[in-house]
Amino acid sequence: SYVLTQPPSVSVAPGKTARITCGGNNIGSQGVHWYQQKPGQAPVLVISYDSDRPSGIPERFSGSNSGNTATLTISRVEAGDEADYYCQVWDSSGDHYVFGTGTKVTVL
Amino acid sequence: EVQLVESGGGLVQPGRSLRLSCAASGFTFGDYAMHWVRQAPGKGLEWVSGITWKSGRIDYADSVKGRFTISRDNAKNSLYLQMSSLRAEDTALYYCAKDSMVAAPPGVGYFDYWGQGTLVTVSS
C-alpha cells in the first residue's frame, strides 16, 4: 500500500518559516492536500491540489510538490499555527485515500 | 452553513456491532460523495470508507473491509457506517467528511468539511 512519510515534529520560532515534508513514491504525479488539526478539533483544509489555498486560509500557507516530496510551507509563523499537519493523496492503485503520518508543529 | 453531526458512538464489547450516523445540512447532500475518517487516541488520521453521490461506488480501507458497511440515504441527508466484529483497534474518534467535488468519482476531490466526530470505544 502507498505510504506517506512526514517528520514527527517541526519546531520553529515565531516569525520564522516552517517547512513540513511529505514523502511518497512519485508523489509529484498526484494532487496533495494538507490539513491542519488543532487539539480537540476536527481537521481543516489548508492547501488543496499541491498549492491551492482555500478562502480564509492566510497567504502565509503555501505548498509545492515535485518528485518524491510534497512540502507545506508556513511563513511568518504565529503561535496560532501550532497544530498537527497531515498530507493526503488518493492511491489509485489501491482505491484508497491515504493520509501522511502527521507532523506536530511547535512554535517556540 | 455546512454542518455534519455524527452520532451513535459509545462503549461496545469486542465482537459486537455498532451503527454510526451522520446528519448533513447546509448543502445538497445527494450531489457529493461522503466519507468516514477515524483517529485513534493520540494517533493520526485514517480514512475508513467512502461512498459516491448515488452509492454507485463504495471503497473501504483494508483494515475494515468485510466488517464495516457504509451507506447513505439521500432523502434523509444522512450517512451511515455499520460496524461489526469490532476489535480493540477500532477504538477511535470517527469523523464524517464531505467530498469537495460535485458528482465526482473517488480520488478527484478532498475533504472540505468535517464533523466533530463520535467516539467509539471497543473494550470488554
Given an 8 Å threshold on Cβ–Cβ distance, is B61 in contact with A42?
A: no
pLDDT band at B69 (very low <50, low <70, confident <90, very high): very high
pLDDT band at B11 (very low <50, low <70, confident <90, very high): very high
Q: What is the pLDDT of residues B52-64, one digit of tens each?
A: 999 889 999 999 9
Q: Which residue of chain B is at minimal alpha-carbon distance from A50?
A: B110
Q: Does residue B105 have a pLDDT over 90?
A: no
Q: In sequence order, which residues have a C-beta less than 8 Å from that of residue B106 and are 6 or more positions away?
A: A90, A95, A97, B33, B50, B52, B57, B59
C-alpha cell at A79: 503561535
Q: Which of B44, B61, B95 sits opposite A96 (nearest CB)?
A: B61
Which of B3, B4, B38, B45 would best serve as a mutation to test chain A binding (most A beta carbons within 10 A)? B45
The whole-angstrom separation of Cα B77 and Cα A46 is 27
The whole-angstrom separation of Cα A61 and Cα A76 is 9
The share of chain A scoring above pLDDT 70, in percent, equals 100
Alpha-carbon separation of residue B117 from A10, A57, B5 (angstroms) = 27, 23, 7
Given an 8 Å threshold on Cβ–Cβ distance, is A92 in contact with B107?
A: yes
Mean pLDDT over B89-93 rounds to 98
pLDDT band at A1 (very low <50, low <70, confident <90, very high): confident
The share of chain B scoring above pLDDT 90, in percent, equals 94
Side-chain-side CA neighbours of residue A100 (13 Å) = 31
C-alpha cell at B48: 475508513
Mean pLDDT over A44-73 rounds to 97
pLDDT band at B43 (very low <50, low <70, confident <90, very high): very high
Q: How many other β-carbons are positioned within 10 Å of the β-carbon of residue B111?
A: 28
pLDDT band at A94 (very low <50, low <70, confident <90, very high): confident
Mean pLDDT over B14-29 rounds to 98
Q: What is the pLDDT of residues A24-44, one digit of tens each?
A: 999 999 999 999 999 999 999
The whole-angstrom separation of Cα B77 and Cα B61 is 24
